[in-house]
Amino acid sequence: MGTEVSIAKLCMLAGKIMLKSGAETYRVEDTMNRIAKTYGMEDAQSYATPTGIHFSIDFSEYTNFMRITNRATDLHKIAEVNSVSRKIAAGELEINKAFSMLEHIDQARLTFPKWMQIIAAAFVSGSFAIMFGGTWPDFIPAFIAGSVGFAGMLGADKLVDIRFIAEFIGSVIIGVVAILFMTNGLGASLDKIIIGAVMPLVPGLHITNAVRDLIAGHLIAGVSKGVEALLTAFAIGAGVAVIIGFI
């Protein structure tokens, strides 16, 4: 019985890390089932939604449940869990060693520091402004508006802890900065500056995961992620619209 509990804990930890890091639900379930099968649990049952994980080592056994409240985007952690899973499937890791490796991944801070994310958002914003048809005079305004807006979103996310409100505040800041540049004669196209600057806030991964979950037959997860992406897009658009409405 002790070994079975260890298998359940191992699978739940792997699923928790992947789901909190932004993995698709079908990938989470597949990873948990493969790990359990490698350790001899042929009838393991797993069910994941964006906000929770259910797992049982057999269809007639008790079910383990874990609620997921905070989710982010950390593809590095997903890749690390996949690496551990492949080693388990190859028979290279015993349960205790695999569990220790997953605990290390769970506790590690693998995301880039905030200042680096802000710099990356700045270059992404300026580049998208050019890609969407803007001119070089639009690059610097989009560069600055995108970085300031992204920094504002990160700060608001810490204070409010509601992602939609944080993204709304970030888009409001972007609209204000873009308009200030235009009123001072810097920049050629307001819409290109704003479009480029909001791109770091756009929920591209959520939309992709929603489609992939729907294609894989995970209708609940796909629809819920799609609604989450839609609300995020609405928050971004509303923030910009509020500022433009005052012009």
User: pLDDT tens across 104-126, in order?
Assistant: 999 888 677 889 999 999 999 99
Q: Domain check: are 101 and 141 in the same one?
A: no
The structural domain count of the chain equals: 2
127 burial type by CB count under 10 A (0-12 exposed, 13-18 middle, 19+ buried): middle
How high is the pLDDT of residue 1? 41
- Range of the structural domain that residue 237 is part of: 114-245
Q: Domain check: are 141 and 180 in the same one?
A: yes
Q: Domain check: are 167 and 99 in the same one?
A: no
* Tokens encoding 46: 């797993």
Q: Domain check: are 134 and 38 in the same one?
A: no
Which residues pair with residue 48 across a beta bridge?
53
How high is the pLDDT of residue 4? 45
pLDDT tens for the chain, residues 1 to 247: 444 447 889 999 999 999 999 888 999 999 999 999 998 888 888 999 888 999 998 877 788 899 988 888 888 899 999 999 999 998 888 888 999 999 999 988 867 788 999 999 999 999 999 999 888 999 999 999 999 999 999 999 888 877 889 999 999 999 999 999 999 988 888 999 999 999 999 888 888 888 988 888 888 888 988 898 899 899 999 999 988 887 6
How high is the pLDDT of residue 6? 78
Q: Domain check: are 152 and 224 in the same one?
A: yes
Q: Domain check: are 95 and 145 in the same one?
A: no
Choose the final residue of a domain: 107, 124, 148: 107
Helix (H) or strand (E) holding 34: helix 25-38
Q: Domain check: are 54 and 161 in the same one?
A: no
| Residue type at 60 in one-letter notation | S
Choose the final residue of a domain: 107, 132, 156: 107
Q: Domain check: are 118 and 238 in the same one?
A: yes
Q: Domain check: are 173 and 97 in the same one?
A: no
Compute the residue count for the chain. Answer: 247
DSSP state, residue 111: S
Q: Domain check: are 93 and 211 in the same one?
A: no
Q: Domain check: are 227 and 173 in the same one?
A: yes
* Tokens encoding 200: 């770091």
pTM attached to this predicted model? 0.79
Q: Domain check: are 79 and 169 in the same one?
A: no
How high is the pLDDT of residue 57? 86
* Tokens encoding 24: 């698709």
Choose the final residue of a domain: 82, 107, 132: 107
How high is the pLDDT of residue 143? 95
How high is the pLDDT of residue 15? 93
